Amino acid sequence: MPAATLRRVVALYTPNAFREERILWRAVIQLNIVRSIHTILDALNDIRRRDVYPSSTYTSDPDSDSESENHVSLPYHLEELRRRLYPLHHVESLLIAKLVPPNEHEATTLGVGGSNSVNGNVPYYGNSYPPSSHAFRHQEVFVRPGAAWKLRTSGRPQSAGTTGQETIDESQTVLHHCCPDMIALWQDHVVRQILRRRKIRLEESPGFYLNDLNRVTSLTYFPSDDDVLRARLKTVGVSEYSFHMEAGPETGTEWRIIDVGGSRSQRPTWVPFFDDAIIFLAPISAFDQTLVEDRSINRLEDSVLLWKEVCSNKLLAKVDLVLFLNKCDILASKLKSGVRLAKYVRSFGDRPNEPEVVEKYFKSKFSAIHREHSPIPRKFYGFCTSVTDTTTTGGIIASVKDMVVREHLRASKLL
């Protein structure tokens, strides 16, 4: 089960434990904010380098509309914002040091950037960056599964407080002072045009808080349940979680959930850990996106191929599968903005470009793969869900309980 889904389960069924740990997620949310701003600044710096170094060998991002940007210069007010937001590099460095042990920096970063982006120490060359800094991109930060990173963010998590006032730190102070400039950057119409040209849709990404900057950069900010559910924190490796339900009809029941990494390199480690059920998340909103690890592979196509691989795996023949067609809220927003699914998925044909139609189409496709590729017949469990949807999570637990009970009855010859 991916970490974000696990958070939903914890929020729904162990609410007391979830609320106790909310303050520990503030560092993650802070890092998410900084990463969003740096994504914008990276796009601006690409344009700026093209203007400052017109004869350099620098090559623009393949997804950018380079023809329309060849003769673009950044307005003065954006240059000023860029300079005033430079302290965020220091904040990023502080937050990574807080979340990731020093000896694990290399092992828990992934991206296309150079080594400078691992620790946030970016060389500064007066009013500009050198052409070679095209290699610099703020790499994805991973943490090891488990509670170790939470202990690093607070020595005594049990006394983290309930208002946020007890734990004001340097990162929050800098973010608070940079808040007006971050808002100005995010709301600038030139910036929005650049992001749109480059197909950078921050609103569709997990860990997006730029529409809530006044609130989340307040010196007394304390993460809400929704803030924690939206936070982006990638895990690497495999970890087991055991907890007792505090709420609902399953109160007192102990659950054991395995959290596995989702990147392609980690997939061979999955199979030995599952003997009851697998919860499979397919982000159907990603039909027009590519993998971070391999920009030549479509994310949705990768999910379909992996689903087929899991369904057909003979070692998992007796393991029940729960499918989550995830991020349906982002899908609806994307379709409403005019993005047409048929442009990326030809088999969708001339069906209406409506969220309900698209969800039904994908559910049917994944169900057919499940039916055709399972070594032995098994029931299909499929849900359409959103990033912070805790209601549907209840359906998961009910489905998994049904699976486990049926398997025990089958094993005892009672079924």
From the CB of residue 326, how many other CB atoms can be counted at a distance below 10 Å? Answer: 26
302 in a labelled binding site: no
Using alpha carbons, select from 293, 259, 109, 354 the residue that is nearest to residue 302: 293
| CB-based contact 243:20 (threshold 8 Å) | no
Distance in angstroms (rounded) separating the CA atoms of residues 243 and 256: 7
198 in a labelled binding site: no
Count how many Cα atoms sit within 13 Å of the Cα of residue 395 in the half-sphere of its side chain: 12
Distance in angstroms (rounded) separating the CA atoms of residues 10 and 128: 46
234 in a labelled binding site: yes
Beta bridge partners of 280: 323
46 in a labelled binding site: no
- Spacing of C-alpha 57 from chain mean position: 33
Cβ contacts of 29 within 8 Å, gap of 6 or more: 207, 209, 216, 223, 227, 228, 231
Pairing of strands 109-110, 140-143: antiparallel
231 in a labelled binding site: yes
Cβ contacts of 94 within 8 Å, gap of 6 or more: 170, 171
326 in a labelled binding site: yes
Distance in angstroms (rounded) separating the CA atoms of residues 39 and 64: 13
* Torsion angle defined by CA atoms of residues 282, 288, 293 and 294, in that order, rounded to the nearest 10 degrees: 120
26 in a labelled binding site: no
**Exposed/middle/buried for 81, CB within 10 Å: 0-12, 13-18, 19+?**
buried
Binding-site residue numbers for Mg(2+) are 235
Binding-site residue numbers are 229-235, 326-329
Binding-site residue numbers for GTP are 229-235, 326-329
